[in-house]
Amino acid sequence: MSGALLGAAGCSSDSPSALRPKGPVAGRISALSWFMFGLSGLITLVVFGLMVRGLFSDGEGHRFRMSETRWIALGGVAMPAVVLLALSGLTVTSLHETDGPEPGSYPVEVIGHQYWWEVRYPQARGGPVTAANEIHIPAGRNVRFTLRSVDVIHSLWVPELGGKTDLVPGRTNHLTLKADHPGTFRGQCAEYCGLQHANMAFLVIAETPGDFQRWLSEQAAPAADPGAAAGPAAAGRRDLEQLPCAGCHTVRGTAAAGKVGPDLTHFGSRRTLAALTQPNTPPNVSRWIADAQAVKPGARMPPIALTDTQVSELVAYLRALR
Ligand code: CUA
């Protein structure tokens, strides 16, 4: 299932790896972890070598003899102190270099919800842009994330682009990431936040600056109007405005202005459904609307009694929201 989903989402590989960095922050983290791995490997070899020597030698006849006290002072205190100091120095420098607010970075706000991601673009021209579970960013440019949560602690992690940063209720955290080239990167909530923590994933879609601005202006436009004429999409719009859907969801340009669930203004343009739980296809949307709890137990979308006709009208309308 996940393979098919990632295929549909356009990812190049099944599992995003922090060891395949696609940006400078991830590159720095990866270099540091390889260095630590190499150094600890070396120390392990030296320690095992000394142990083997101790096992098979009677201690006589060696050119270099050291008192036990000196062994302990050098091998047990001085060496670890030097190694740990050097590693913490490198760690602090890396942290400093990867976490500063970069001048000219592009601001994106991410708000964690059980179990999905709200994404806002404060610098979008032509209207407020609020997306969900897909974070479009300009490639080759630092992106400064402002991270908040409305409920519990979540953590934003895009292994190929950088480290994790928590989204903490009542706090505002920041994270700077950059993708070297256009591409699609899978991200995941990295802090246990409840029953559907594992299904709280997202995509980071890095685009050329031109493609990114095009996407942004499409998203800034109000929702597509299916017209007043008869037809399933127009009926779906009336359903959405009149049924409890409108209490939670916003579709800009309609009476639906709820603030609890994801903004659906351009729902049809998204690749996946319910934070990457499923590809955004009509049968999946239909199942989700009819019984979200069967698809993602514990999700905040409550069951609503709908007729089959209402479900298919809503699916037709949501598909049209490109
Ligand atoms: Cu959100 Cu785990």
pLDDT at 322: 87
Residue-averaged pLDDT of the chain = 90
Per mean pLDDT, which range of 19-28, 99-108, 171-180, 186-195 is the poorest?
99-108
Q: How far is the CA of 114 from the centre of ligand 1 (A)?
A: 7
Q: What is the pLDDT of residues 98-150, one digit of tens each?
A: 877 778 899 999 999 999 999 999 998 887 899 999 999 999 999 999 999 99
Protein residue with its CA nearest to atom 1 in ligand 1: 154
Q: What is the pLDDT of residues 196-233, one digit of tens each?
A: 999 999 999 999 999 999 999 999 998 888 876 678 99
Give residue for tokens 């779906």. 236
Q: How far is the CA of 132 from the centre of ligand 1 (A)?
A: 15
pLDDT > 50? residue 184:
yes
Quick check: CB of 197 below 6 Å from ligand 1?
Answer: yes
Phi and psi dihedrals of 29, rounded to 5?
Answer: -65, -45
- Tell me how far apart the alpha carbons of residues 19 and 177 are, in angstroms, rounded to a whole number: 16
Any residues with CB less than 8 A from the CB of 175 and at least 6 apart, and which? 99, 144, 145, 147, 156, 162, 163, 165
pTM of the model: 0.86
Quick check: CB of 113 below 6 Å from ligand 1?
Answer: no
Name the packing angle between helices 24-56 and 79-99 (round to 10°). 170
Query: Which tokens in the block code for residue 61?
Result: 């006849």
Quick check: CB of 192 below 6 Å from ligand 1?
Answer: yes
pLDDT > 70? residue 14:
no
- Tell me how far apart the alpha carbons of residues 160 and 247 are, in angstroms, rounded to a whole number: 37
Cβ pair 107, 135 in contact under 8 A: no
pLDDT at 303: 87
Q: How far is the CA of 165 from the centre of ligand 1 (A)?
A: 12
Quick check: CB of 199 below 6 Å from ligand 1?
Answer: no
